[in-house]
């Protein structure tokens, strides 16, 4: 499979717990992006990497969120001390440098905080 | 004000109709433009890039007006399978994409 893979597909967690999501991008793509999407809204930018370097992080992202891409391949997104407002679809996408040909998205991880 | 604005719709049209969606963006430094399609509870998928000269892909035509910071998507001869949310997307030169909130289209028999 040459697409973008995300794991898990669904996650239900209790408020206050930590969660971690994984994304495996298309292998030839050196850019990896994380977005969050809630019902009725478009995807909202969280952060992105070029290879292993995190180039930008949204100002909307609180300190409870952290992302890594240690070897420039897969990436993880961790949310600490989850809150009900964190419930959303977390989308990962990858692209070649510049993104001029658009992104390929994974199927997303749907997080529900109860 | 959002960086990318779209009419949320919904647009409800009969099969065979022609429908047009509009989008405006605020960042004049934006360099590349796209339309994505998103089906219910699925991930967005790239529909087409948008070029200044306008471009067509089958029944779909995209236009860009840089002076007015306006993007459009025209769908001719609508099919039931065109029912989806259409997301307007703008890239800065850093390659980061900013998405609109989408326009929902329902094509009815």
- pLDDT category of residue A106 using cuts at 50, 70 and 90: very high
- pLDDT, mean of residues A73-91: 97
Q: Residue A1's pLDDT is what? A: 53
Q: Residue A60's pLDDT is what? A: 75
Give the residue on B whose Cα is nearest the Cα of A45: B98
What's the number of CA atoms in the CB half-sphere (13 Å) around residue B42?
A: 13
Looking at the complex, report in whole angstroms how far the Cα of residue A95 sits from the nearest Cα belonging to chain B.
9
At A85, is the secondary structure helix, strand, or coil? Answer: helix
Give the residue on B whose Cα is nearest the Cα of A92: B43
The Cα–Cα gap between B104 and B87 comes to 9
Closest CA to B62 of B80, B36, B28, B94: B36
Give the residue on B whose Cα is nearest the Cα of A33: B96
The tens digit of pLDDT for each residue in A14-52 reads 999 999 999 999 998 999 999 999 999 999 999 999 999
Q: How far is Cα of residue A19 from the mean position of the Cα atoms in its chain?
A: 12
DSSP 8-state assignment for residue A84: G
- pLDDT, mean of residues B85-96: 87
- Encoded tokens for A16: 């206050």
Partner B contacted by A59 (CB < 8 A): no
Give the residue on A whose Cα is nearest the Cα of B88: A42
**Chosen from A33, A38, A43 to mutate, greatest number of chain B CBs within 10 A:** A43
Are residues A42 and B87, on separate chains, in Cβ contact within 8 Å?
Answer: yes
Averaged pLDDT of chain B: 94
Residue A93: which residues within 8 A CB-CB, separation 6 or more?
A4, A25, A32, A33, A35, A103, A104, A105, A106
Q: Tokens 């930590």, residue?
A: A18
List CB contacts (< 8 A) between B36 and chain A.
102
Looking at the complex, report in whole angstroms how far the Cα of residue B27 sits from the nearest Cα belonging to chain A.
16
Are residues B43 and A91, on separate chains, in Cβ contact within 8 Å?
Answer: yes
Interface size, chain A vs chain B, as Cβ–Cβ contacts under 8 Å? 56
Residue A97 scores a pLDDT above 80: no
User: What is the bridge-based pairing of β-strands A109-113 and B32-38?
Assistant: unpaired
A110: burial class by Cβ within 10 Å (0-12, 13-18, 19+)?
middle
The tens digit of pLDDT for each residue in B27-80 reads 998 889 999 999 999 999 999 999 988 899 999 999 999 999 999 999 999 999
């Amino acid at each position: 499979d040459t697409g973008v893979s995300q794991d898990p597909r669904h996650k239900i967690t209790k408020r206050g717990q930590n969660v971690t999501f994984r994304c495996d991008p298309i292998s030839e793509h050196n850019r990896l992006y994380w977005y969050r999407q809630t019902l009725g809204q478009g995807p909202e930018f969280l952060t992105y990497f070029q290879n292993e370097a995190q180039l930008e992080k949204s100002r909307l992202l609180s300190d409870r969120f952290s992302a890594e891409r240690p070897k420039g391949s897969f990436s993880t997104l961790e949310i600490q001390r989850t809150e009900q407002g964190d419930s959303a679809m977390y989308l990962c996408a990858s692209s070649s440098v510049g993104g001029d040909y658009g992104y390929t998205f994974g199927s997303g991880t749907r997080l529900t905080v109860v | 004000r959002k960086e990318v604005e779209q009419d949320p719709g919904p647009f409800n049209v009969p099969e065979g109709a022609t429908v047009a969606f509009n989008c405006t963006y605020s960042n004049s430094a934006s360099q590349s433009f796209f339309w994505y399609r998103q089906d219910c509870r699925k991930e967005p998928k790239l529909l087409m890039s948008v070029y200044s000269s306008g471009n067509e892909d089958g029944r779909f035509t995209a236009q860009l007006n840089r002076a007015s910071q306006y993007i459009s998507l025209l769908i001719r001869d609508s099919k039931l399978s065109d029912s989806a949310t259409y997301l307007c997307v703008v890239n800065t030169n850093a390659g980061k994409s900013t998405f609109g909130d989408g326009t929902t289209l329902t094509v009815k028999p």
